[in-house]
Amino acid sequence: MNYLKKVVLVSFCAFFSLSLMAQTHPSIMLTKANVAAVKKGVNTYPLLRQSYQAVKNAADKALAQPIVVPVPKDGGGGYTHEQHKKNYSNMLNCGVAYQISGEKKYADYVKNVMLNYASQYEKWPLHPKRKSEEDGGRIFWQSLNDFVWQLYTIQAYDLVYDGIPATDRKTIEEKLFVPILKFFTEDRYDVFNKIHNHGTWNLAAVGITGYVLNKREYVEMAIKGSKKDGKTGYLAQIDQLFSPDGYYMEGPYYQRYALLPFVLFAKAINNYEPSRKIFEYRDKLLSKAIHTSLQTSYTDKTFFPLNDAIKDKTYESVELVYGVDLAYADIKAEVDLLDIARQQNRVIVSDAGLKVAADLAAGKAVPFKYQTLWIRDGGKGDEGGLGILRNGPNTDQQCVVLKAASQGMGHGHFDRLNLLFYDNTTEIFPDYGAARFLNIDTKNGGGYLPENNTWAKQTVAHNALVVDQTSHFNAKLGPADKASPTLLYFSNQPNLKVVSAKEDKAYTDVTMLRTSALVKVEGLDKPLLIDVMQAQSAKSHQYDLPFWYKGQLVNTSFPVTAKANQLTALGDKNGYQHIWLNASNPLEGKSGMVGLLNKNRFYTTHFVSDNPLEVKLLSIGANDPEMNLVDGKAFMLSSSGQNQTFVSITETHGGTDPINETVSSALPTVSGLKLIKSDAQQTIISFKVNERTYTYQINYTEKQNYISLR
Amino acid sequence: MNYLKKVVLVSFCAFFSLSLMAQTHPSIMLTKANVAAVKKGVNTYPLLRQSYQAVKNAADKALAQPIVVPVPKDGGGGYTHEQHKKNYSNMLNCGVAYQISGEKKYADYVKNVMLNYASQYEKWPLHPKRKSEEDGGRIFWQSLNDFVWQLYTIQAYDLVYDGIPATDRKTIEEKLFVPILKFFTEDRYDVFNKIHNHGTWNLAAVGITGYVLNKREYVEMAIKGSKKDGKTGYLAQIDQLFSPDGYYMEGPYYQRYALLPFVLFAKAINNYEPSRKIFEYRDKLLSKAIHTSLQTSYTDKTFFPLNDAIKDKTYESVELVYGVDLAYADIKAEVDLLDIARQQNRVIVSDAGLKVAADLAAGKAVPFKYQTLWIRDGGKGDEGGLGILRNGPNTDQQCVVLKAASQGMGHGHFDRLNLLFYDNTTEIFPDYGAARFLNIDTKNGGGYLPENNTWAKQTVAHNALVVDQTSHFNAKLGPADKASPTLLYFSNQPNLKVVSAKEDKAYTDVTMLRTSALVKVEGLDKPLLIDVMQAQSAKSHQYDLPFWYKGQLVNTSFPVTAKANQLTALGDKNGYQHIWLNASNPLEGKSGMVGLLNKNRFYTTHFVSDNPLEVKLLSIGANDPEMNLVDGKAFMLSSSGQNQTFVSITETHGGTDPINETVSSALPTVSGLKLIKSDAQQTIISFKVNERTYTYQINYTEKQNYISLR
């Protein structure tokens, strides 16, 4: 405790002195005044020790190899691309190793790499693999990667500043950083001033470079835009890219990515100019953004893969390590963040990492508090949002996500009122995410694949309603960006968690309402997922509601007769051309069920419709000449009529124990699902559990009495 | 140490006294003389403590629920099936809890369940869901489950014997166990005397019941067969079902299953009649069988899924917990077995479990010694075998399995010279295993599915050579059971691990030779899998060599043009009817490569042929009306001619780090693979690694100089 007090005191003095004498180095994540404390912490706190050990190992590995700064040539995942990425990591690792170990060899390495870049940079034209003149980089195929490179590199420079002779610093600054500042702010003027994550990376790199080189005019431009009028720049980005709840409109995958330049620049601003109170800006927006990023993950650590998202991305990602460390150390020490830090299993070797590691070692962590919540989207919070319903402990949590957010620009998918369902630390009804093999050069240079547009963005690739086999907004970004769903109701009670939203612009003459709920019923271990998708129209339409699922089909209420010798594509456009129709089962009544086995647990979806119903069994893969798509399966409820309501109850039950070869509750308990009424005022259904009949009623027009279960 | 000495001394006295006064209870896994020591061990050794806690929790849970002994009605996985299984588990758990806690309530529970069975058993006819009159059970649909039930139940009876009044014992013995003995040995006479795992379960149940009830004539029959002539019975089963290396001809999945009655009965024999020296029998065969069972697993704990096998079965299975505990405590205390016990994370609460838990607590465990070895098959060891090549530590091991074993009776697959490949704790080239959802009643009653015969057993479902689209032996069990492959060569050197085998009976006029090797080459992190499949024939044939793979196709040397709007089945019989042809790519030359990404690591298979080559990309699922098959993908090398050699080099390289979004060594290093010569004497190939050319030569007729790499 005394020790910690001292740390705090020293930090305080450091910040104080910084504001007077700003050109101390280092002064971003690791500050000069705290180096001694961090050094001591490395020997004291396990997580800081192993985090530093990893940094030092990487630094030593870098030192053992020759310095290679190749002329830029390859696209994402290719040799020169990966080598330039490696260089900035190496420089940053060596910078940290220099500060903690005090060994000059690390500073020398950084100096030599930078001098090498300085000797070449000005000769490099725009990258030969650039996709356009507007966003090509010089080191990488897109300027975005150049911004990232600089954001890391300038930190390394700050860390070794005192270990490099002044003449070399002059060369590096004049031949590398100044030309980079010029390239970023002039040649990439439009990107610098764009309200978009590429812009954030650009201005954060420029701003931090401005602080480190003491060129405050660049800081000013970064914060307030090239014209210094505040219409663009960092503050405008905070204002416009995030909702009041800290949600980033592109979705969780890009939110995570966008976060790093936001928090790093904030940290630099706070160190250099604490009077700006940047962490307080817009009602502590940055703190909310970090928390919201974590809340948009499931307990398997992955982010909800909404919009263009690489599916195995988790909060172990370095951006969230920065985010969590800074949120805890610099904004508010909420002890459930320590749980995330523990799962991340590393901290940034820095002032913030010291505090996190110390508090973790002191046993302060509690399980991360995943919440049931409605996260607003849009700069003003009025462009829809994400509904997240959760039940159960982090070790075995059910989670439902209703995507009722805005389009989120070019990386957005046409999936209004898309539903995701998780249980047992795995996906049950997943989202496909993006069609992309990140950094794998043999797959379209590691970029988005053609199937990202023809499949992944299309409505049918999601657990969303498709009308007449066309995608929402005809898959046109313009109109989609202009409209967003409306929240009708949100409730978080222990036994009834509900989100209900409306989308009436995705199709010209169809209004869609989706009401999803986790409902606890006596006699069942797990809540039921009750999902009511209602479409209202004056005209007759074909309605398809797919449930993309993981696991194996093990039960159906109807006889399945899958196609035997030949499969054909389900359609010829709007994503349907990528689907194989495995089986088509018209139901005798208007109800049925499908049973799945997933990770040794059973899931039975009971469904009922007000029009005659057909169940189609589908798999992904048609019209995929280069076999770019990954596997996936769905059951799709199909019907036609004017108004159409699909009701489903997904029951989680029993399981198999393959080690002991036992099975429990293989058959569902829910029975007799009936749709009693569904119109613009109400949907009423009934079902039985253990001989008791329940009536579940939605009153669309009564906010005070929206849902009841009797 | 003193304490352990005492335990040993006490045990020794116990065994000695047992042989004079055999009717002490309990006297199977837990013996009366050792109860005090085990009680103390429960309080001392963590693994024994948690193992007992699990048993006691299960026992307490049983006590909290009403006793239910339903009239047998349902098939595998159904209600009465699972309830009767639960009953024997409950009885055994309560038996153990009674001995360790001394609390009479546990004995009362067992007594009451047994009295309930005793009041009904004789009224039960053959099970209504039986599939035949010959092997139907009375409690379960097949008598096998009845044998298992009795093997557990008689142990429970032994454990609570002293806690049940003599009159109740009389009822239980006369109304339950005696009728059971009669049913097993008379009504199921053929099964009792069959050399087959069902027979083993039957006779072990009978033999142990004979000991516990002191009806030694049943013991005698169990050991030497109904006629007591030794032609059938336990010893004959040990002689004939296992090879001299302890391999069980049905394969690892059934070896694991068969093991339990073998070792349990051995333990009983050893306790009651140590003079039989049963553990020494046939050069310590039972010990070999346990070790071989473990050696036929991969480092992900699963057994090689050869023949009919449920794929998620691991050595955590209770049979191997018994096996490992007894092997360590009663046969030979090899400390690497403790590593397995640690992974199993439980011991049997017993004399043996005490010793294992004590030695684990003493820190004696070392990593399990996975070996590169040739395991002989056949009672005399002359019916082929399994070749297993391994490289690397248990944490990241490469493993190659060449299946050159005998057919293995009815559960055998027609997959001579089938190749399995593992790396990075996952499957790379997997085996499908069985087509079965064990215990899931909605899938054919939990039994083998029709597709087990039409798909899983067929040659093309394996990584094995198919000639003229027909399966080995035309998928006829009779001829297949009569022939087995021949080992040509086996070698285990640090840089060159090789197995080579021949099969010349699977097709009338084709001789197949397969030589698979793990070859370490300078400059590569991981060994190369070099696989040479040679077919010799006087006539022209079509040859298909599939490589079923896990992961995603990310690279090919040829342009892939997958079927767009329509898929058709690859054939109409012999398993081909279950395959969709996704793409068909005739190669310009006779060589090419396919690159996969699996669990963030790259695998590139380079291949070359002496005849023109076509690469077909396949997936599983055609002609599967009830959608019983699970997903799978393959690339298949197809060619035709008289003699045909397929050479492949599978290179393990680089990987992706999705958290840090980096990629390393995405492209392969091997290049220029050439087939220089292949005939009955030799196969010679060459390839380049980092500009150095290697020549790999197989001399089929020279045992002393079989393989060379230069």
Q: What is the model's pLDDT at position A19?
A: 42
Chain A interface mutation, best of B148, B454, B565, B598, highest count of A Cβ atoms under 10 Å: B565
pLDDT at residue A589, rounded to an integer = 87
Q: Does A310 lie at the interface with B, CB-CB under 8 angstroms?
A: yes
Q: Which residues in chain B touch residue A552, judged by CB atoms under 8 angstroms apart? A: 437, 630
HEC readout, B589-635 = CCEEEEEEEECCEEEEEEEEECCCCEEEEEEECCCCCCCCCCCCEEE
Q: Give the one of B440, B560, B580 whose C-beta lies nearest to A554's C-beta.
A: B440
Task: Assess contact for A297 and A290: CB atoms under 8 A.
Answer: no
Q: Are B689 and B521 in contact (CB under 8 A)?
A: yes
Answer yes or no: do B438 and A656 touch at CB < 8 A. Answer: yes
Looking at CA atoms only, how far is residue A491 from chain B in angstroms?
Answer: 34
* Binary contact (B562, A443; C-beta < 8 A): no
- From chain A, the residues in CB contact with B625 under 8 A are 560-562, 564
Q: Please tell me the predicted confidence (pLDDT) of residue B662.
A: 85
Residue-averaged pLDDT of chain B: 95
Cis omega (within 30 of 0) for bond into A66: no
Among B312, B553, B658, beta carbon nearest to A627: B553
Residue B654 carries which DSSP code? -
Give residues 409 to 448 of B whose Cβ lies within 8 Å of A.
Answer: 437-443, 446
Please name the residues in contact with B246: beta carbons below 8 A apart, sequence gap of 6 or more. B285, B286, B287, B288, B289, B290, B291, B292, B293, B375
Neighbours of A104 (CB within 10 A): 12
Is B411 noted as a catalytic residue in this protein?
yes
What pLDDT is stored for residue A446 in this prediction? 87
Q: Which residues of B touch A553 (CB under 8 A)?
A: 627
Which tens digit of pLDDT belongs to each residue from A625-635?
999 999 999 99
Residue A386: in which H helix or E strand, if any?
A: strand A385-391
Query: The pTM is what?
Result: 0.91
The shortest CB-CB distance from A442 to any of B555, B577, B623 is to B555
User: Cα distance from B438 to chain A (closest Cα, Å)?
Assistant: 7
**Interface predicted TM-score of the whole assembly (ipTM), two decimals:** 0.89
Average pLDDT over residues B618-641: 97
Find the catalytic residue in B81, B84, B291, B411. Answer: B411
In the 8-state DSSP scheme, what is residue B492? E
Q: How far apart are CA A292 and CA A288, in angstroms?
A: 6
Choose among A314, A438, A564: nearest Cβ to B622. Answer: A564
The answer, for B71 touching chain A at a CB cutoff of 8 Å, is no
pLDDT at B21 > cutoff 60 = no
pLDDT for res B660: 82
Question: Residue A705: CB partners within 8 Å, gap ≥ 6?
Answer: A699
- Quick count: other Cβ atoms within 10 Å of Cβ B5? 9
Judge whether A57 is closer than 8 Å to chain B, CB to CB.
no
Q: Cβ(B461)–Cβ(B574) under 8 Å?
A: no
CB contact under 8 A, B597 and A554: no
Sequence letter at residue A147: F
Are A661 and A593 spatial neighbours (Cβ–Cβ below 8 Å)? no
Is the separation of the CB atoms in A288 and A340 below 8 Å? Answer: no
pLDDT digits (tens, 9 = 90+) for A238-293: 999 999 999 999 999 999 998 999 999 999 999 999 999 999 999 999 999 999 99
Assess whether pLDDT exceeds 70 at residue B182. yes
Paired tokens of A643: 């108004």
What number is the average pLDDT over the span A177-189? 98
The reply to whether B552 touches chain A by the CB within 8 Å rule is yes
Annotate A362-372 with b (16+ C-beta within 10 A) or e (fewer). Answer: eeebeebebeb
In Å, how far is A122's CA from the nearest CA of chain B?
27
Q: Could you state, in order of their start, the residue ranges of all structural domains in chain B?
A: 373-709
Which of B314, B446, B552 has its CB closest to that of A659?
A: B314
How would you write A89-155 as a 3-class SS string? HHHHHHHHHHHHHCCHHHHHHHHHHHHHHHHHHHHCCCCCCCCCCCCCCCCCCCHHHHHHHHHHHHH
Question: Is A468 near chain B, with CB under 8 Å?
Answer: no
Contact A437 B562 (CB under 8 A): no
List A689's β-bridge partners, or say none: A670, A692
Cβ pair B403, B303 in contact under 8 A: no
> CA–CA separation, B219 vs B222, rounded Å?
5
Confirm or reject contact between B569 and chain A (CB < 8 A): yes
* Spatial separation of the C-alpha atoms in residues A117 and A100, rounded to whole Å: 25
Q: What is the mean pLDDT of chain A?
A: 95
3 state DSSP class of B489: strand
What is the average pLDDT across B190-207? 96
- Are the beta carbons of A564 and B627 separated by less than 8 Å? no
Q: For residue A348, which of A255, A267, A405, A288 has the smallest C-alpha distance?
A: A267
Interchain proximity A659–B565, CB inside 8 Å: no
Enter the tokens of residue A564. Answer: 């035997």
Q: Identify the pLDDT of residue B18.
A: 42
User: Which of these CATH numbers, 3.30.930.10, 2.70.98.70, 3.40.1160.10, 2.40.110.10, describes B373-709?
Assistant: 2.70.98.70
The answer to whether residue A54 neighbours chain B at the CB level (below 8 Å) is: no
H helices of A21-65, where?
A: 35-44, 46-63
Confidence of residue A18 (pLDDT cuts 50, 70, 90): very low
Residue A31 DSSP SS3: strand
Q: Which residue of chain A comes nearest to B633, CA vs CA?
A: A631
Percent of all residues in chain A with a pLDDT value above 70, rounded to a whole number = 97
Give the whole-angstrom CA distance, residue A46 versus residue A362: 11
Q: What is the mean pLDDT of residues B93-114?
A: 98
In sequence order, the 6+-apart residues with CB closer than 8 A to the CB of B16 are none
Chain A hits for B77, Cβ within 8 Å: 663, 666
pLDDT at A16 (0 to 100): 42
Question: CB-based contact (8 Å) between B611 and chain A?
Answer: no
Residue B615 has pLDDT above 70, yes or no: yes
Continuous segment of H or E residues that includes residue A216: helix A216-224
Q: Do B439 and A662 touch (CB under 8 A)?
A: yes
Residues B286-315: tens digit of each pLDDT: 999 999 999 999 999 999 999 999 999 999
pLDDT higher than 70, residue B452: yes
- The single-letter code of the amino acid at B604 is T
Alpha helices (H) in A303-373, listed in sequence order: 318-326, 337-344, 351-361
Phi-psi region of A654 (alpha: psi -120 to 50; beta: other; left: phi over 0): left
Using DSSP bridges, classify how beta strands A426-429 and A466-467 pair: parallel, antiparallel or unpaired.
unpaired
Collect all residues of chain A within an 8 Å Cβ-Cβ radius of residue B442.
554-555, 595, 666-667
Banded pLDDT at A439 (limits 50, 70, 90): confident
Residues B500, B707: Cα–Cα separation, whole Å: 10
What is residue B475's DSSP assignment? G
Tokens of A515: 């009401």
A492, with CB counted inside 10 A (0-12, 13-18, 19+), is middle
Interchain CB contact of A704 with B (< 8 Å): no
Q: What is d(CA B521, CA B513) in angstroms, rounded to the nearest whole number?
A: 24
pLDDT tens for A407-431 read 999 999 999 999 999 999 999 999 9
Residue linked to tokens 């190496």: A90
Give the residue-averaged pLDDT of A525-549: 97
Interchain proximity B317–A659, CB inside 8 Å: yes
Closest alpha carbon to A280 in A294, A266, A268: A266
Q: Is-contact B107 B25, C-beta < 8 A?
A: no
The pLDDT, as a whole number, for residue B8 is 46
**For residue A362, what is the enclosing H or E element?**
none
Active site residues of A: 254, 411
What distance in Å separates the CA atoms of residue B405 and residue B382, rounded to the nearest whole number?
A: 10
pLDDT for A23 equals 84
User: Residue A452's Cα: distance from chain center in Å?
Assistant: 17
How many angstroms from the chain centroid is the CA of residue A336? Answer: 20
Looking at residue A88, its pLDDT comes to 98
Task: Note the pLDDT tens digit of each residue in B645-679.
Answer: 999 999 999 999 988 888 899 999 999 999 999 99
Strands A614-620 and A496-507: unpaired
Alpha-carbon distance A684 to nearest alpha carbon in chain B (angstroms): 31
Tokens of A406: 């805005």
Phi, psi at residue B636, to the nearest 5°? -120, 130
Residue A160's CB is within 10 A of a number of other CB atoms, namely 26
- Choose the weakest-confidence range: A62-66, A73-77, A164-168: A73-77
B254, B315, B489, B576: which one is catalytic?
A: B254
Q: What is the pLDDT of residue A14?
A: 44
Q: Which of A317, A619, A663 sits opposite B82 (nearest CB)?
A: A663
Q: Nearest residue on chain B to A86, judged by CA atoms?
A: B662
Q: Which tens digit of pLDDT belongs to each residue from B322-377? A: 999 999 999 999 999 999 999 999 999 999 999 999 999 999 999 999 999 999 99
In chain B, which residues have their Cβ closer than 8 Å to the Cβ of A297? none
